Amino acid sequence: MSYVPIDPGMLRGEIGMVTRPRRRWLPFSPWHLILMPIALIMLTPLWSMVATSLETLPQTRHFPPILWPGDFQWGNYPGTVRAADFGLWFWNTTVVTVSVVASNLLLCSLAGYAFARIRFLGRGVIYMVLLATLMVPLQVVLIPTFLVTKSLGLIDHLGALIVPNLANVFGIFMLTQFFRTLPLELEEAARMDGASRLGILFKIVLPLSMPALTTLAVVQFMWTWNDFLWPLVTLPFNEGAYTIQLGLMNFQGAHTVDWNYVMAGNVMSMMPMLLLFLAAQRWFIRGIATTGLKG
């Protein structure tokens, strides 16, 4: 998986497309016949969520389901916030996500640069060992990783979500690959002028690496924000440390048939991620296309 920059034009529908004259047997492209139903199916759960979040409780129990509430119950949102600690959950998730993303940018840059540019004793072996750990998914080592975290006294603290994720091998791998593609000349010139390794990394390499860093940041953000299994295991009792995913799960469990409130909570939980996606769509696309990984 090497780093292949993707042209943002792909999103605008300009690149990689074949245009050819074709005869028309429909007043519109036949592709619509495939795309329209699929798009509607994909959007149905989302639409149903938003509609339900604005309904009265009796409306949610109506059959057939109501997809346009008519009289919008905007009060469901403040009502939901009052009924549970959404603010606290957002805050916890933000603390964890920001810490993890910032730390990964720093630590993966340092390590990636060393692996890409500095010849040091044991470099090859260490690199291979790190990559080997990528082969083993968390699910397999859940129990021992949990035990390590427990022995560090992190269980039931936000630290349990932060410390083990401060440096992600995948990020190191990605940045190493990217740094190797950068031209050496600038760095060599700077070394001639007596610049330190750290100086070169921060003043020359990183400014050239904004695409890779942004990609790493959004992908890491998505993984951390949406993570479920690890918080589930490491925050057994402390509801004060819940992330939005755990909180949402508990909220749903406590209001199983209050679907309007549950959906209002669901919409709120998705908002930050969705806004970030809309704002940084091409970085997500690039991240996924190049990393080939979903959370």
Touching another protein, residues 98-127 (CB under 8 A): 107-108, 110-111, 113-115, 118-123, 126
- Candidates 98, 189, 279, 293; binder of another protein (CB under 8 A) is 293
Between residues 208 and 270, which has the closer beta carbon with respect to another protein?
270
Q: Which stretch binds another protein (CB under 8 A): 72-80, 153-161, 184-192, 208-216?
A: 153-161
**Rounded to an integer, what distance in angstroms lies between the CA atom of residue 171 and that of residue 164?**
14
Q: Which stretch binds another protein (CB under 8 A): 30-38, 73-81, 185-193, 202-210?
A: 30-38
**Rounded to an integer, what distance in angstroms lies between the CA atom of residue 284 and that of residue 277?**
7
Which 268-287 residues touch another protein, going by CB under 8 A? Answer: 269-270, 273-274, 276-277, 281, 284-285
**Rounded to an integer, what distance in angstroms lies between the CA atom of residue 169 and that of residue 175?**
10
- The reply to whether 206 sits near another protein by the rule CB under 8 A is no
Between residues 152 and 189, which has the closer beta carbon with respect to another protein?
152
Between residues 95 and 249, which has the closer beta carbon with respect to another protein?
249
CA–chain centroid gap for 271, Å, is 13
Which 176-195 residues touch another protein, going by CB under 8 A? Answer: none
- The reply to whether 53 sits near another protein by the rule CB under 8 A is no
- Candidates 17, 125, 128, 210; binder of another protein (CB under 8 A) is 17
- The reply to whether 155 sits near another protein by the rule CB under 8 A is yes
Q: Which two tokens stand for residue 267?
A: 């919409």
Q: Which stretch binds another protein (CB under 8 A): 62-70, 73-81, 178-186, 209-217?
A: 62-70
| Cα-based torsion angle of the residue sequence 283, 288, 291, 295 in order, rounded to the nearest 10 degrees | 110
- Candidates 2, 25, 27, 31; binder of another protein (CB under 8 A) is 31
Between residues 90 and 146, which has the closer beta carbon with respect to another protein?
146
Size of the site for another protein (CB under 8 A): 122
Question: Could you give the string, one character per residue 250-269, with x where binding to another protein holds by CB under 8 A and - elsewhere?
Answer: --xx--xxxx--xx--x--x
Between residues 186 and 239, which has the closer beta carbon with respect to another protein?
239
Which 208-227 residues touch another protein, going by CB under 8 A? Answer: 222, 225-226
What distances in angstroms separate CA 210 from CA 25, 36, 206, one per listed residue?
A: 47, 36, 7
**Rounded to an integer, what distance in angstroms lies between the CA atom of residue 80 and that of residue 103?**
33
Q: What is the DSSP code string of 128-154?
A: HHHHHHHTS-TTTTHHHHHHHHHHTT-
- Candidates 199, 203, 228, 240; binder of another protein (CB under 8 A) is 228
Alpha helices, DSSP H, located in the chain = 9-12, 31-53, 57-60, 76-83, 86-117, 123-134, 142-151, 159-162, 169-181, 185-192, 197-200, 206-208, 210-226, 229-234, 244-254, 259-279, 281-291
**Rounded to an integer, what distance in angstroms lies between the CA atom of residue 180 and that of residue 185?**
12
What distances in angstroms separate CA 165 from CA 4, 105, 112, 149, one per listed residue?
A: 26, 12, 16, 11
**CB of 75 vs another protein, minimal distance in Å:** 16
- The burial of 168, by beta-carbon neighbours within 10 Å (0-12 exposed, 13-18 middle, 19 or more buried), is given as buried
Which 159-178 residues touch another protein, going by CB under 8 A? Answer: 163-164, 166-167, 169, 172
- The reply to whether 19 sits near another protein by the rule CB under 8 A is yes
